[in-house]
Amino acid sequence: MYDEKVVKKAKAIHAEIYGKNPTTVAYAPGRIEVLGNHTDYNAGTTFSCAINMGHCFCISASDKPGVRLTAGDLKETTEFDPSNGDALEKKFQWANYVKGVMHYLRDFDVEINNVDCTFLGSIPMGAGLSSSAALEVATAYAVLAYTGKEIDKIDIAKIGQRAEHEFAGCSCGLLDQFSSIYGVHHGLIHSDFRTLETYPVKLPDDVVFLMINPNVKHALAESPYNARRKSCEKAAAQLNALVDYEVSALRDIPFKDFEAHKDKIDPEAAQRATHVVGEIYRVEEGVKLLKEGELEAFGQYLYDSHETSRTSFENSCAELDIVVEAAREAGALGARLSGGGWGGSAIALVHADQADAVCAKIIKICKTKGFEPTAETIIPSAGATVVE
Ligand code: GLA
């Protein structure tokens, strides 16, 4: 299942710009992060799902060398040589995710040249729903299909991550790319970033997730994201010196041991790590609760997660805090910021038959606080696919 509307529109724009239909079309979804905030680059685990919005990537052959690339929404076109490893100038930042993926695919003997490409997404920009990872994954799937090559899905995810690190300046983990690749229809996925394994977990039929976007700016490369990653690494290194087993990442320190030693390490690093270690615990306990149908207790973990985002990791913002409180007041089972933070969207877990009422109430409360969020019900969706 993919977003048919965006695929149809992308193909039409491609034909309009280049005067011919694409021969290869791929699609990759965005994601919501359900639990496991900033745990991925700490070798931890996450709970997420692919969503019913994503990016479509179209390719057709060209007689001109290099890659011509059009951003479907802007109807702007740029050109580049994928063998060149430099990022494009800032005004073409949107093209860097594509260039990065095409460049790093070359390490797997996948070379693309003489092509016209178009991409179009249905994920609202800056909503914190992994629009960039969806674009990276859609690019990789399309290029592999066009060139007739196959590589491991984990390598596709790592190529996307490398494009983020080197071409966009964000030292992200693999959560977004994994969610976009391994998403399952009507289910969540549990991902382990040490073993790089995922498995699906069914979402009970009587609950849905709402995505509530206060529409505040969200740009991870300019946020304290990279600084937080460094603080977590510092905490792991200092804890490693205090315990008699190896702590190569925060994943390795159980909650109980962290509590016993946190006062002996750098206070700022300890504060950030409090959120991450708690999140890893909540993911593992949360999976069990969801499987047992303990929705209230599971939802409470979402609220707990938001609370340590706010107080310990400090990656929330005033509008997200208001949305989460509004969700609580409106009767949601749980709510939290989803994704990197410092803007982006919150998610709320609600009983399906109350979704519209809860959603309306959240918006109404936010309006009294001076802003009007956009909200949608999320349909957990299948991962990336080659459409044609
Ligand atoms: C962003 C990053 C992910 C992950 C989340 C926070 O979405 O791209 O790798 O770290 O933030 O959990």
Over the stretch 353-373, which tens digit does the pLDDT of each residue have?
999 999 999 999 999 999 999
| Residue 130 alpha carbon, nearest atom of ligand 1 | 7
Distance 220 CA to ligand 1 centre (A): 9
344 lines ligand 1 (CB under 6 A): no
Given 3, 176, 252, 304, which residue is catalytic?
Answer: 176
Tell me the whole-structure pTM to 2 decimals. 0.97
Residue nearest to atom 11 of ligand 1 (CA): 340
Give the per-residue pLDDT at 221. 59
Q: Which fold has domain 4-202+382-386?
A: Ribosomal Protein S5; domain 2 (3.30.230)
Give the per-residue pLDDT at 326. 98
Cα dihedral 336→337→338→342 (10° resolution): -170
Residue nearest to atom 9 of ligand 1 (CA): 173
Distance 293 CA to ligand 1 centre (A): 27
Q: Which CATH number, 3.30.70.890, 3.30.365.10, 3.40.50.1980, 3.30.1360.120, labels domain 207-377?
A: 3.30.70.890
Token digits for 27? 């699609």
Active site residue 205: no
37 lines ligand 1 (CB under 6 A): yes
| Residue 36 alpha carbon, nearest atom of ligand 1 | 12
Backbone phi and psi for residue 285, each to the nearest 5 degrees, phi listed first? -70, -35
Distance 70 CA to ligand 1 centre (A): 27
Over the stretch 280-331, which tens digit does the pLDDT of each residue have?
999 999 999 999 999 999 999 999 999 999 999 999 999 999 999 999 999 9
341 lines ligand 1 (CB under 6 A): no
Q: For residue 178, give every residue at least 6 positions away whose Cβ sits within 8 Å of its Cβ, in sequence order, or none.
A: 46, 48, 157, 189, 191, 198
**Ramachandran assignment for 352, one of left (phi > 0), alpha (psi -120 to 50 degrees), beta (any other):** alpha
Give the per-residue pLDDT at 126. 83
Domain ranges across the chain:
4-202+382-386, 207-377
347 lines ligand 1 (CB under 6 A): no
339 lines ligand 1 (CB under 6 A): yes
- Ranges of residues in the chain with a pLDDT under 50 are none
* Number of other CB atoms surrounding residue 124 within 10 Å: 17
